[in-house]
Structure 1
Amino acid sequence: MPLNKSALTESTSRRRKNTKIEWSPWLQKALKVLKPPERLTVSEWADKYRVLDAKTSAEPGPWRTERTPYLRGIMDAFTDPDIEEIIFVKPTQVGGTECLNNIVGYVIAQDPSPTMIVYPTDKLAEFTSKNRIQPMIKLCPVLSERYQDQESKILELQFDGMYVVLSGANSPASLASRPIRYLFMDEVDKFPPSAGKEADPRSLARERTKTFAHNKKIFQTSTPTRKNGPIWEEWENADDQRRYYVPCPHCGHYQTLRFKQIKWPNTARTAEEAQTTAYYECEQCHGIITDGHKPAMLRAGRWQSEKKTGTRKTAFHLNALYSPWVRFGDVAYEFLRSKDFPELLMNFVNSWLAEPWEQTEAKMNSDNVLEKQSEYEEGVVPDGTLLITAGVDVQKDHFYYTIRAWGTNMTSWNIAHGVAETWDQIEYIMNLPYRDKQGNIYQVNLCAIDSGDRTDEVYEFCAFNQEWAVPVKGSSNSLLSRYKVSTIDKTSSKAYGMRLYIIDGNQYKDMIAGRLNRPNGPGSWMVYKGCDREYAEQICAEEKVVEKKGGREVEIWKPKAIHAANHYLDAEVYAALAADLLHVRYIQPETTREQPEINKTQSVEYQQNNFIKPDYDWINLKGRWI
């Protein structure tokens, strides 16, 4: 009797269901490796699989991007095929470290490829491996099942189809000879300038990605330090600069959160009072925004490009105001606690505002200059004066000059300054007699004149007036001493064979800035009573910054703004050099002892009897020549 076809089919199907196929362990593992990954972004993967460790996280448990929604755009940029490099300029307390760890976890689970993570030191790399990376792997099943524990070392973690190398920027051996596709560099501003005897550690690490020229990814993050620091230079050179904009809960205006919009009542007398009363003010409607508004604002936020010329190198910037763990009052408190202490203020600017530190402690303020007014009027020689020097800054068609009196301990007073238009006027001014309150007469003992411009004219003028004038020139490099002596070797010049003084202006500007901080009195740098604001502004036209020269960091004085007038500052530098040439620095206060005989040509009585005070009411020593 023939079998029923439908019955046969049903019987076969039943046998297949009851048959259990036994796969070998190695085959099961191979099939898992070959299984295509889910189509997820980094933030989706983290929300689905990442678990935070109670040992290192303030909020242990499943990761929720919704808690720090600003990290979504940074993490998902990693899966954007148009982006090759990601720059993250960050403060503390915004989840930046976990952002990097999420991307590393995504790579292991979704796109296994050789990976390197570089930290400032190898010790920090070891600590992070033990306390962050390995705990993350063990708490996440999709990572732990790929982890080859027995084959791994502290600084070299092995996975199915890839490895993760953790390196210290101070260890050149750990940065060499490993082809990698994914490069992560954490806290790059703390990297040493070189890895031992090798080149810049960031450059060494980048060399390892050459094998993957078309599909590599480089991720750099750091809290900034200075404007010439690595992370801020990367930010400024990025093709796409993005900031996180959030809407005002009152008017809906999208804006970035900025420190200047944090307000607190004028009645708050202490940092603690400001902490409890501070709020954020909308830049558009001036509405009051409280900490309670922040979570919804962050969820509705979006990254916007502020400068965009491409996407290959994309940079993100955040400050601590966005952090869900930081209140507006905390920012106010930290600022008030730090503002009077440069070291604390630097930490506030770097770690809270994520901005580079400028040498604000080395900035001179014009108000400070005007506070240094003495009891002496313009043109009056102060008591205690030993000698007078002058400095002249030469411009294309005029001159800025200053005349300064010097006493013991390098105490000094500006007694006149102004602008002249011709060499004859400079000669006249430098030969004028100046009187003290007792009627004693003084003259400029030595004048230093800038020879950087109109060089031949300066040389000739100094040759004709070499009893009181010397040519000087600023040094393009730092000097071990404040100045060095050269010789004018231009045979066609009337000044041939004269001394030319090469000056390190940075050292003299350091001296002026330091003595401005002293109270009026011995050792202070003072100005005459009624000193004008223009002079004070020019004295303070520069600030001290840190720049890299010849592979090392150096501190130099530079104008605060482009084309800022600093002529009086330069003139004061030259006057200070003239004082050094006369050895005023080494003159000690007089003690009771027998005085040597005074040459009559240097005595006050001789000067009084042989000089007639000219009528120079027609000269305006403060302003331009009349």
Structure 2
Amino acid sequence: MPEKAKSKWPDWLASAFQVLRPPEKLTVSEWADRYRVLDSKSAAEPGQWSTDRTPYLRGIMDSFTDPRVEEIIFLKPTQVGGTECLNNMLGYVVAQDPNPALVVYPHIELAKFTSENRLQPMMELSPALQERFHSNQSKDLELQFDGMYAVIAGANSPASLSSRPIRFLFMDEVDKYPRTSGKEADPRSLARERTKTFPFNKKIMQTSTPTLRNGPIWQAWEGADVKLQYYVPCPHCGQFHTFKFKQIRFDKALEPEDIKATAYYECESCNGIIRDAHKPTMLRAGEWRTPEGSTMRKRKTGFWMNAIYSPWVRFGDVASEFITSKRVPEELMNFINSWLAEPWENTQIKLNSDKVLDKTSGYDEGIVPDRTILLTGGVDVQKDRFYYSIRAWSEGMTSHNIRHGVVETWPQVEDVMNISYCSRDGTEYFVNLCAVDSGYNADDTYDFCVKNSEWAVSIKGANNPLPAKYKLTKIDREEKGMYGISLYLVDGGYYKDFISNRLVRKPDETGGWFVYEDCDLEYAEQVTAEEKVKEKRGRVEVEVWRPKTAHADNHYLDCEVYAAFAADCLGIRYMRYEEPEEASKPQTEKPTESKKSWLQGGDSWL
């Protein structure tokens, strides 16, 4: 054998053994602890990965190699390592189980950025990945490795989601995905279609910060076969609990910076004080389990946690963030979503019938509250009946429902809007203005409002938001010889926001929205029959009011919208209550004998 061939034989043999040698039996967390290196540009703590820094990620990552688990759902806040958890799974696939993979981000631009700045640097920094990474054959949106490829896709690009079979599917920040991918279906459904050729050994990982209850990640969490939360032991009593925001104790009177320094956590079992220094030990001793105590994984396994668990977040940080954001709905929504990892369900957006029934005013039905300035009404016209509501208004747009109900004819509408309503001291009030919906039976509504123009106006809900809440238009009915009929276009969404905002005010605050004593449940359920949701209109995402269920009755909600519009139209915002003047006593002057008028037969006609 030639000398040259002999010198290469050991290298060839070593290379062959390297190819044929089976991969180590490692879990994802074990592999990451050995081989994952964090980039200094994108990581808060660059260098060798250590799962002990974020122990809660161990159970999530290791579920990826659990044969019982097909899909992992991680419902998370921001900045707890969720994306790095996903990256570790991808690195494990490349090094340990090479098979086609697809990683989906909310849009194609983010996919390119992440590939260039996080995924490719991850492959270059780890020797275990670098030796398998073919950088010269790779593109930003398609990375090539020994025995596999990884497609990096945007949820808004149907081309990047189709035509390639994949075994491993990773979806990041799914609540930011568009509802449709171009003219195609839901991007998550398109991505799942690619796994059909691996029916028995596919793995799907989806993670996101939640937005609304009907958002993708919350719906996935609700549909999980098992829902796990991270339980940690109290350093004082040893009882296991999840971290809850309500257990953080702080003085609301302090400034945010002082709250950061003084807030602490209170154990819900022993009331022991838990400091930030206790958290690392608690996290290392924690475990993923159900509220009933089970740690079993199933086919669809969900994991949920909030930002209190993060090693980079102090108890005071959470309390301070809440104090600074609670008065601004947009900032409060960010706190609920990004810190507590809960769907946004503030009562300013979603109403509850119990909240309505709790807003009793102390007045019986039909009694006008003290300091009322005016009354308004709203009528919702249906095929065979009319729903109505009458509301009393006082300063600051404080309002009380004094009567609501159903009548069957137009004369009955006229009667209920024209009778007098009295306060406790006997003062009479009449409905100053009633808004009548013209959406169902426009002709009859116009006739009614023309005949009763001194107190009734016809309205119609606007299809799109209006810049000024409502808009007066004029219509003609030439066939009946009527011209210049007033019709108000009303922004119903604005007044539904108005009602929901007023419902959350405290009883002693000006501007509250109240109902009379023993208000009926049907009224409360109809007033709260809608919720605010996000919808995609073209490329813009907007919030709109929609019925909670497909056939929910919302007639009383419409009536209250119309009554609120009527009060706004009359200028209730700027009115002030004037105390009634006491009846002045007649001035009587005692007649004197020296002064007699000529009418009394005196000596002088003066």
Q: Same fold (TM over 0.5)?
A: yes
Once the two structures are TM-superposed, the CA of residue 321 in structure 1 deviates from its matched residue by: 0.7
Contact kept? 1:119, 1:169, Cα under 8 Å:
yes
Q: Does the residue aligned with 2:120 lie in a helix, a strand or coil?
A: helix
Residue in structure 2 matched with residue 263 of structure 1 by the alignment: 249
Amino acid at match of 1:70: Y
Moved more, 176-185 or 428-437: 428-437
Match of 2:390 among 391, 402, 414: 402
Residue in structure 2 matched with residue 314 of structure 1 by the alignment: 301
Tell me whether 1:130 sits opposite 2:120 in the alignment.
no
Residue in structure 2 matched with residue 224 of structure 1 by the alignment: 210
Tell me whether 1:110 sits opposite 2:96 in the alignment.
yes
Tell me whether 1:342 sits opposite 2:329 in the alignment.
yes
Find the aligned partners of 1:317 and 1:179 in 2 and give their Cα distance.
30
Once the two structures are TM-superposed, the CA of residue 247 in structure 1 deviates from its matched residue by: 0.8
Find the aligned partners of 1:230 and 1:122 in 2 and give their Cα distance.
19
Residue in structure 1 matched with residue 532 of structure 2 by the alignment: 545
Residue in structure 1 matched with residue 235 of structure 2 by the alignment: 249
Tell me whether 1:88 sits opposite 2:78 in the alignment.
no
Once the two structures are TM-superposed, the CA of residue 147 in structure 1 deviates from its matched residue by: 1.6
Amino acid at match of 1:573: V
Match of 1:39 among 20, 25, 32: 25
Residue in structure 2 matched with residue 286 of structure 1 by the alignment: 271
Find the aligned partners of 2:500 and 2:31 in 1 and give their Cα distance.
55
Tell me whether 1:233 sits opposite 2:214 in the alignment.
no
Once the two structures are TM-superposed, the CA of residue 124 in structure 1 deviates from its matched residue by: 1.8
Residue in structure 1 matched with residue 595 of structure 2 by the alignment: none
Contact kept? 1:391, 1:403, Cα under 8 Å:
no
Residue in structure 2 matched with residue 305 of structure 1 by the alignment: 290
Contact kept? 2:307, 2:340, Cα under 8 Å:
yes
Find the aligned partners of 2:110 and 2:190 in 1 and give their Cα distance.
19
Deviation per residue, 1:88-132 (Å, 9 max, x gap): 111122111211111111111110111111112222222222222
Distance 1:422 1:391, change over 3 A: closer
Match of 1:100 among 86, 89, 97: 86
Residue in structure 2 matched with residue 274 of structure 1 by the alignment: 259
Q: Does the residue aligned with 1:344 lie in a helix, a strand or coil?
A: helix
Amino acid at match of 1:314: T
Deviation per residue, 1:387-435 (Å, 9 max, x gap): 95454799x999874156899xxx9886872367987998764442469
Amino acid at match of 1:241: K
Match of 1:323 among 266, 291, 310: 310
* TM alignment of 1:136-147, pairs within 5 A: 136-147=122-133
Contact kept? 1:420, 1:426, Cα under 8 Å:
no
Contact kept? 2:175, 2:209, Cα under 8 Å:
yes
Q: Does the residue aligned with 1:274 lie in a helix, a strand or coil?
A: helix
Q: Does the residue aligned with 1:212 lie in a helix, a strand or coil?
A: coil
Number of aligned pairs?
A: 530
Amino acid at match of 1:190: K
Tell me whether 1:332 sits opposite 2:319 in the alignment.
yes
Moved more, 440-449 or 271-280: 440-449
Tell me whether 1:573 sits opposite 2:558 in the alignment.
no
Find the aligned partners of 1:248 and 1:211 in 2 and give their Cα distance.
47
Find the aligned partners of 1:555 and 1:121 in 2 and give their Cα distance.
21
Residue in structure 2 matched with residue 120 of structure 1 by the alignment: 106
Once the two structures are TM-superposed, the CA of residue 149 in structure 1 deviates from its matched residue by: 2.4
Moved more, 213-222 or 398-407: 398-407
Contact kept? 1:67, 1:324, Cα under 8 Å:
yes
Find the aligned partners of 1:393 and 1:40 in 2 and give their Cα distance.
68
Tell me whether 1:355 sits opposite 2:342 in the alignment.
yes
Amino acid at match of 2:310: S
Identity across aligned pairs (percent)? 53
Q: Does the residue aligned with 1:244 lie in a helix, a strand or coil?
A: strand
Once the two structures are TM-superposed, the CA of residue 246 in structure 1 deviates from its matched residue by: 0.6
Distance 1:341 1:449, change over 3 A: closer
Find the aligned partners of 2:303 and 2:92 in 1 and give their Cα distance.
20
Contact kept? 1:169, 1:195, Cα under 8 Å:
yes
Find the aligned partners of 1:508 and 1:85 in 2 and give their Cα distance.
43
Deviation per residue, 1:305-342 (Å, 9 max, x gap): 34999821111111111111111111111111111122
Find the aligned partners of 2:335 and 2:400 in 1 and give their Cα distance.
41
Find the aligned partners of 1:263 and 1:405 in 2 and give their Cα distance.
40
Once the two structures are TM-superposed, the CA of residue 60 in structure 1 deviates from its matched residue by: 2.2
**Which sections of structure 2, spanning at least 5 residues, go unmatched?**
472-487, 575-606
Residue in structure 2 matched with residue 214 of structure 1 by the alignment: 200
Contact kept? 2:377, 2:559, Cα under 8 Å:
no
Find the aligned partners of 2:448 and 2:176 in 1 and give their Cα distance.
56
Q: Does the residue aligned with 1:126 lie in a helix, a strand or coil?
A: helix
Match of 1:165 among 147, 151, 154: 151
Residue in structure 1 matched with residue 591 of structure 2 by the alignment: none
Once the two structures are TM-superposed, the CA of residue 200 in structure 1 deviates from its matched residue by: 2.0
Residue in structure 1 matched with residue 368 of structure 2 by the alignment: 378
Find the aligned partners of 1:57 and 1:441 in 2 and give their Cα distance.
68
Contact kept? 1:382, 1:413, Cα under 8 Å:
no
Find the aligned partners of 2:513 and 2:413 in 1 and give their Cα distance.
21
Q: Does the residue aligned with 1:22 lie in a helix, a strand or coil?
A: helix
Find the aligned partners of 2:110 and 2:400 in 1 and give their Cα distance.
58
Contact kept? 2:53, 2:311, Cα under 8 Å:
yes
Contact kept? 1:226, 1:232, Cα under 8 Å:
yes
Contact kept? 1:404, 1:412, Cα under 8 Å:
no
Contact kept? 2:527, 2:556, Cα under 8 Å:
no
* TM alignment of 1:162-201, pairs within 5 A: 162-201=148-187
Once the two structures are TM-superposed, the CA of residue 179 in structure 1 deviates from its matched residue by: 1.4
Moved more, 249-258 or 354-363: 354-363
Contact kept? 1:433, 1:442, Cα under 8 Å:
yes
Amino acid at match of 1:150: N
Find the aligned partners of 2:512 and 2:58 in 1 and give their Cα distance.
56
Once the two structures are TM-superposed, the CA of residue 152 in structure 1 deviates from its matched residue by: 1.8
Tell me whether 1:151 sits opposite 2:141 in the alignment.
no
Tell me whether 1:65 sits opposite 2:51 in the alignment.
yes
Find the aligned partners of 2:290 and 2:459 in 1 and give their Cα distance.
46
Contact kept? 2:348, 2:497, Cα under 8 Å:
no
Find the aligned partners of 1:196 and 1:25 in 2 and give their Cα distance.
52
Distance 1:403 1:114, change over 3 A: closer
Once the two structures are TM-superposed, the CA of residue 572 in structure 1 deviates from its matched residue by: 2.3
Residue in structure 1 matched with residue 484 of structure 2 by the alignment: none
Once the two structures are TM-superposed, the CA of residue 170 in structure 1 deviates from its matched residue by: 2.1
Moved more, 568-577 or 182-191: 568-577
Moved more, 279-288 or 305-314: 305-314
